[in-house]
Protein backbone atom coordinates (compact mmCIF):
# COMPACT_ATOMS: atom_id res chain seq x y z
CA UNK A 1 0.00 0.00 0.00
CA UNK A 2 3.07 2.27 -0.11
CA UNK A 3 2.07 3.62 -3.55
CA UNK A 4 -1.51 4.37 -2.48
CA UNK A 5 -0.37 6.10 0.70
CA UNK A 6 2.08 8.18 -1.33
CA UNK A 7 -0.76 9.34 -3.60
CA UNK A 8 -2.93 10.17 -0.59
CA UNK A 9 -0.11 12.06 1.12
CA UNK A 10 0.56 14.05 -2.07
CA UNK A 11 -3.11 15.01 -2.32
CA UNK A 12 -3.85 13.19 -5.57
CA UNK A 13 -6.14 10.56 -4.05
CA UNK A 14 -9.00 12.07 -2.05
CA UNK A 15 -12.32 10.31 -2.62
CA UNK A 16 -13.04 7.24 -0.43
CA UNK A 17 -14.42 5.17 -3.34
CA UNK A 18 -11.39 5.92 -5.54
CA UNK A 19 -8.95 5.20 -2.69
CA UNK A 20 -10.74 1.90 -2.08
CA UNK A 21 -10.36 1.00 -5.76
CA UNK A 22 -6.63 1.81 -5.75
CA UNK A 23 -6.17 -0.43 -2.72
CA UNK A 24 -8.08 -3.35 -4.26
CA UNK A 25 -6.91 -3.18 -7.90
CA UNK A 26 -3.18 -3.88 -7.76
CA UNK A 27 -1.02 -2.17 -10.38
CA UNK A 28 1.34 -5.17 -10.21
CA UNK A 29 -1.36 -7.23 -11.96
CA UNK A 30 -1.18 -4.98 -15.03
CA UNK A 31 2.55 -4.60 -15.77
CA UNK A 32 4.82 -6.76 -17.91
CA UNK A 33 6.55 -9.56 -15.96
CA UNK A 34 9.96 -8.00 -16.61
CA UNK A 35 8.81 -4.84 -14.76
CA UNK A 36 7.20 -6.54 -11.75
CA UNK A 37 9.73 -4.97 -9.39
CA UNK A 38 8.85 -1.46 -10.59
CA UNK A 39 5.07 -1.49 -10.16
CA UNK A 40 5.10 0.70 -7.03
CA UNK A 41 7.17 3.43 -8.66
CA UNK A 42 5.21 6.57 -9.52
CA UNK A 43 6.30 6.52 -13.16
CA UNK A 44 4.87 5.30 -16.48
CA UNK A 45 5.97 1.78 -17.44
CA UNK A 46 6.19 0.26 -20.91
CA UNK A 47 3.59 -2.31 -21.92
CA UNK A 48 5.05 -2.72 -25.42
CA UNK A 49 3.88 -1.46 -28.84
CA UNK A 50 5.08 2.05 -27.93
CA UNK A 51 2.45 2.32 -25.18
CA UNK A 52 2.64 2.66 -21.40
CA UNK A 53 0.70 1.99 -18.24
CA UNK A 54 0.27 5.55 -17.02
CA UNK A 55 1.96 7.11 -14.02
CA UNK A 56 -0.20 6.40 -10.94
CA UNK A 57 -0.27 10.10 -10.04
CA UNK A 58 -1.81 10.86 -13.44
CA UNK A 59 -4.39 8.07 -13.19
CA UNK A 60 -5.41 9.26 -9.72
CA UNK A 61 -5.68 12.86 -10.93
CA UNK A 62 -7.84 11.89 -13.92
CA UNK A 63 -10.18 9.68 -11.90
CA UNK A 64 -10.64 12.34 -9.24
CA UNK A 65 -11.57 14.84 -11.99
CA UNK A 66 -13.92 12.35 -13.61
CA UNK A 67 -15.48 11.37 -10.25
CA UNK A 68 -17.44 8.31 -11.49
CA UNK A 69 -20.41 7.21 -9.41
CA UNK A 70 -21.96 3.87 -8.55
CA UNK A 71 -24.00 2.61 -11.49
CA UNK A 72 -22.32 4.81 -14.11
CA UNK A 73 -21.73 3.69 -17.68
CA UNK A 74 -18.13 4.55 -18.58
CA UNK A 75 -16.14 4.59 -21.83
CA UNK A 76 -12.39 4.00 -21.45
CA UNK A 77 -10.48 4.98 -24.61
CA UNK A 78 -6.96 3.58 -25.09
CA UNK A 79 -7.39 0.95 -22.41
CA UNK A 80 -3.86 -0.46 -22.76
CA UNK A 81 -2.91 -2.56 -19.73
CA UNK A 82 -6.51 -2.60 -18.44
CA UNK A 83 -5.57 -1.03 -15.09
CA UNK A 84 -7.74 2.07 -15.45
CA UNK A 85 -10.65 0.01 -16.78
CA UNK A 86 -10.44 -2.23 -13.69
CA UNK A 87 -10.22 0.78 -11.36
CA UNK A 88 -13.28 2.27 -13.04
CA UNK A 89 -15.15 -1.04 -12.78
CA UNK A 90 -14.47 -1.19 -9.05
CA UNK A 91 -15.64 2.41 -8.60
CA UNK A 92 -18.92 2.08 -10.57
CA UNK A 93 -19.83 -1.15 -8.80
CA UNK A 94 -21.93 -4.15 -9.88
CA UNK A 95 -24.65 -1.98 -11.44
CA UNK A 96 -22.12 -0.01 -13.51
CA UNK A 97 -20.49 -0.89 -16.82
CA UNK A 98 -17.12 -0.09 -18.39
CA UNK A 99 -16.47 -0.32 -22.13
CA UNK A 100 -12.72 -0.45 -22.80
CA UNK A 101 -11.65 0.40 -26.36
CA UNK A 102 -8.10 -0.37 -27.53
CA UNK A 103 -6.75 0.11 -31.06
CA UNK A 104 -3.95 -2.50 -30.89
CA UNK A 105 -5.22 -6.09 -30.81
CA UNK A 106 -2.30 -7.43 -28.74
CA UNK A 107 -2.88 -4.76 -26.09
CA UNK A 108 -6.63 -5.34 -26.11
CA UNK A 109 -5.91 -8.99 -25.31
CA UNK A 110 -3.23 -8.06 -22.75
CA UNK A 111 -5.61 -5.71 -20.92
CA UNK A 112 -8.48 -8.19 -21.07
CA UNK A 113 -6.32 -10.99 -19.63
CA UNK A 114 -5.14 -8.68 -16.85
CA UNK A 115 -8.69 -7.70 -15.91
CA UNK A 116 -9.66 -11.41 -15.84
CA UNK A 117 -7.58 -11.62 -12.64
CA UNK A 118 -10.59 -9.94 -11.07
CA UNK A 119 -14.25 -10.86 -11.60
CA UNK A 120 -15.10 -8.02 -13.95
CA UNK A 121 -15.07 -9.88 -17.28
CA UNK A 122 -17.08 -12.89 -16.11
CA UNK A 123 -19.65 -10.63 -14.47
CA UNK A 124 -19.74 -8.50 -17.65
CA UNK A 125 -18.90 -5.34 -15.72
CA UNK A 126 -16.06 -4.68 -18.19
CA UNK A 127 -16.19 -5.32 -21.92
CA UNK A 128 -13.12 -4.95 -24.15
CA UNK A 129 -13.43 -3.87 -27.78
CA UNK A 130 -10.72 -3.52 -30.40
CA UNK A 131 -11.39 -0.37 -32.36
CA UNK A 132 -10.79 3.28 -33.15
CA UNK A 133 -11.36 5.09 -29.87
CA UNK A 134 -11.55 8.48 -31.60
CA UNK A 135 -15.00 7.45 -32.84
CA UNK A 136 -16.12 6.40 -29.37
CA UNK A 137 -18.69 3.61 -29.17
CA UNK A 138 -21.98 4.72 -30.69
CA UNK A 139 -23.71 1.40 -30.00
CA UNK A 140 -23.44 1.90 -26.22
CA UNK A 141 -23.77 5.70 -25.99
CA UNK A 142 -24.55 7.88 -24.14
CA UNK A 143 -22.02 7.63 -21.32
CA UNK A 144 -21.91 9.14 -17.85
CA UNK A 145 -18.11 9.34 -18.04
CA UNK A 146 -15.47 9.11 -20.76
CA UNK A 147 -11.81 8.56 -19.86
CA UNK A 148 -9.26 9.04 -22.64
CA UNK A 149 -5.76 7.67 -22.05
CA UNK A 150 -4.04 9.24 -25.08
CA UNK A 151 -3.49 12.80 -26.26
CA UNK A 152 -5.73 14.37 -28.91
CA UNK A 153 -4.79 17.43 -30.95
CA UNK A 154 -8.43 18.46 -30.62
CA UNK A 155 -11.25 16.96 -28.60
CA UNK A 156 -13.02 14.47 -30.90
CA UNK A 157 -16.58 15.55 -31.75
CA UNK A 158 -17.94 11.96 -31.56
CA UNK A 159 -16.86 11.72 -27.92
CA UNK A 160 -18.59 14.99 -27.06
CA UNK A 161 -21.78 13.76 -28.71
CA UNK A 162 -21.65 10.47 -26.81
CA UNK A 163 -21.63 12.10 -23.38
CA UNK A 164 -24.88 12.21 -21.43
CA UNK A 165 -26.09 15.67 -20.42
CA UNK A 166 -24.30 16.34 -17.10
CA UNK A 167 -21.72 13.72 -18.12
CA UNK A 168 -17.96 14.30 -17.84
CA UNK A 169 -14.91 13.52 -19.95
CA UNK A 170 -11.22 13.76 -19.10
CA UNK A 171 -8.84 13.93 -22.05
CA UNK A 172 -5.25 15.12 -22.55
CA UNK A 173 -5.03 17.65 -25.38
CA UNK A 174 -1.96 18.99 -27.15
CA UNK A 175 1.20 17.89 -28.96
CA UNK A 176 4.48 17.58 -27.03
CA UNK A 177 3.11 18.60 -23.63
CA UNK A 178 -0.60 18.44 -23.00
CA UNK A 179 -3.27 20.05 -20.88
CA UNK A 180 -5.59 17.70 -19.04
CA UNK A 181 -9.07 18.85 -20.01
CA UNK A 182 -12.17 18.19 -17.93
CA UNK A 183 -15.27 18.58 -20.09
CA UNK A 184 -18.78 18.75 -18.63
CA UNK A 185 -21.78 18.48 -20.94
CA UNK A 186 -24.30 21.11 -19.84
CA UNK A 187 -26.85 20.77 -22.64
CA UNK A 188 -27.51 19.01 -25.95
CA UNK A 189 -24.73 21.02 -27.62
CA UNK A 190 -23.20 23.01 -24.75
CA UNK A 191 -20.11 22.22 -22.72
CA UNK A 192 -17.92 23.66 -19.99
CA UNK A 193 -14.23 22.86 -19.79
CA UNK A 194 -11.36 23.31 -17.36
CA UNK A 195 -7.68 22.82 -18.15
CA UNK A 196 -4.73 21.62 -16.08
CA UNK A 197 -1.26 22.01 -17.60
CA UNK A 198 1.81 19.80 -17.56
CA UNK A 199 1.04 16.28 -18.84
CA UNK A 200 2.68 13.95 -21.36
CA UNK A 201 0.81 11.15 -23.15
CA UNK A 202 1.21 9.05 -26.26
CA UNK A 203 -0.92 10.41 -29.14
CA UNK A 204 -4.52 9.35 -29.77
CA UNK A 205 -4.52 7.62 -33.15
CA UNK A 206 -7.54 7.32 -35.41
CA UNK A 207 -9.95 9.29 -37.58
CA UNK A 208 -13.23 10.70 -36.31
CA UNK A 209 -14.95 9.46 -39.50
pLDDT at 72 over 70: yes
Choosing from 15, 38, 46, 54, which is the catalytic residue?
Answer: 54
The listed range with the strongest mean pLDDT (92-101, 145-154, 200-209) is 92-101
Evaluate whether 46 touches 80 at the Cβ level (below 8 Å). Answer: no
pLDDT at 12 over 80: yes
Averaged pLDDT, 181-209: 84
Q: The whole model's pTM is what?
A: 0.94
What CA–CA distance (Å, rounded) separates 84 from 86?
Answer: 5
Domains in the chain and their CATH numbers?
2-199 (3.40.50.150)
% of the chain surpassing 90 pLDDT: 74
Nearest to 91 by CA among 112, 111, 70, 74: 70
pLDDT at 103: 92
Nearest to 120 by CA among 164, 60, 79, 67: 79
Averaged pLDDT, 162-182: 92
Model confidence band, residue 204 (pLDDT cutoffs 50, 70, 90): confident
Nearest to 90 by CA among 50, 125, 57, 138: 125
List CB contacts of 32: < 8 A, sequence separation 6 or more. 45, 46, 47, 48
Is 54 among the catalytic positions? yes
Evaluate whether 4 touches 22 at the Cβ level (below 8 Å). Answer: yes
What CA–CA distance (Å, rounded) separates 124 from 122?
Answer: 5
Compute the mean pLDDT over every residue in the chain, rounded to the nearest whole number. 92
pLDDT at 21 over 80: yes
HSE-up of residue 199 (Cα within 13 Å, Cβ side): 27
Amino acid sequence: MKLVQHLIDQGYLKSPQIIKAFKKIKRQDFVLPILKDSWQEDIPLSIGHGQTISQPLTVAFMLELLSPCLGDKVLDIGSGSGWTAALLAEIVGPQGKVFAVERILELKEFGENNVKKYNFIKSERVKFIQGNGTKGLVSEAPFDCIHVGAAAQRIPAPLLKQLKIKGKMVIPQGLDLQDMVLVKKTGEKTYQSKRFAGFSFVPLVGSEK
